[in-house]
Amino acid sequence: MIAYALLFGFVAVSIALLLNLWRVFAGPTPMDRVLAVDTMVINVIALIILFGIHQHTTIYFEAALLFAMFGFISTVAYCRFVLRGDVIE
Amino acid sequence: MNIVLELLISLLIVISAVFMLVGSLGLIKLPDLMTRLHAPTKATTAGVGGALIASMLYFLAADGAVSIHELLITLFLFLTAPVTAHFVSKAYLHQQRDRGAELPATGRHCGWSTFDGSRADAARDDAPDAGDKTRNA
């Protein structure tokens, strides 16, 4: 039963990633694209966790944690660049 | 594995996948960025949270040991999601500065935040209507 749920999860999260990619290309303002990339990072974290359940190993949690950190830092760095014209003053 | 536990894990995975899909669908359907900020937060909290709880239960049932990595990821995401949303909305407002003329006057010596500079800037100009002058400039 978990295998079918995982299959549904993979398909749904992949469709969500494609929708986010559409927003990245179509977003009217740059901040729309930043928000879409941030949501893509969130979806990729969920995909990695589901893949860890699928492969029955806990080794992917470090990758998920790294994705969470880098997604946050890149979003904040871009927003700070837009706000202040510089990332580190 | 226990059938009840298996059912619970499957249900959590399906719920998290549905919330992920709904969050991205909202990102497509909603009209502008301030409303679009609302949708992906559901993917962050309910989507990733459900997947992490399912993973915790699965490895607790399979290996018999509680792993703390999932709690770390949940804590990190729950701490950083409001900061990210705040930064994105602030940068968006910063890029819409020409729309500050549509706002009414604040009636104080400082103008609107993000559009007219901070209270410290208004105090430095040491004029009673520094905010209005900044916005009309």
User: How far is the first Cα of chain A from the last one, in angstroms, to the nearest whole number?
Assistant: 53
**pLDDT higher at A4 or A58:** A4
- B48 in Cβ contact with A42 (< 8 Å): yes
The pLDDT of B133-137, averaged and rounded, is 48
Give the pLDDT score at B43.
87
Q: Which residue, among A25, A39, A44, A86, would best test binding to B if mutated, counting the most B CBs under 10 Å from its CB?
A: A39
| Inter-helix orientation angle A30-55/A61-84, to 10° | 170
Structure-token pair, residue A11:
């398909």
Question: Average pLDDT for residues A27-50, to the nearest whole number?
Answer: 91
List, for residues A61-81, the tens digit of each pLDDT value: 889 999 999 999 999 999 989
- C-alpha closest to that of B36 among A36, A12, A75: A36
Q: Which of B1-10, B31-40, B90-99, B101-110 has the lowest mean pLDDT?
A: B101-110
C-alpha distance from A84 to closest chain B C-alpha (Å): 9
For residue B23, the chain A residues in CB contact (below 8 A) are 16, 39, 42
Instruction: Flag if B91 and A6 touch (Cβ within 8 Å).
Output: no
Point out the residue among B10, B59, B88 whose CB comes nearest to the CB of A79. B88
ipTM rounded to 2 decimals: 0.88
A88 falls in which pLDDT band (50, 70, 90)?
A: confident
Question: Tens digit of pLDDT for each residue in B42-75?
Answer: 888 899 999 999 999 998 888 888 878 788 888 8
Residue A36: how many CA atoms within 13 Å on its side-chain side?
26
Please, are residues B97 and B135 in contact by the beta-carbon 8 Å criterion? no
- State yes or no: pLDDT of B137 exceeds 50: no
From residue A18, alpha-carbon distances to A8, A11, A37 in Å are 15, 11, 11
pLDDT of residue B50: 92
The shortest CB-CB distance from A19 to any of B24, B84, B92 is to B24
pTM of the model: 0.82
**Residue B124, helix vs strand vs coil:** helix
Which residue, chain included where needed, has tokens 């500079």? B117
Q: Determine the distance in angstroms separating the CA of A89 from the nearest CA of chain B, rounded to an integer.
A: 17
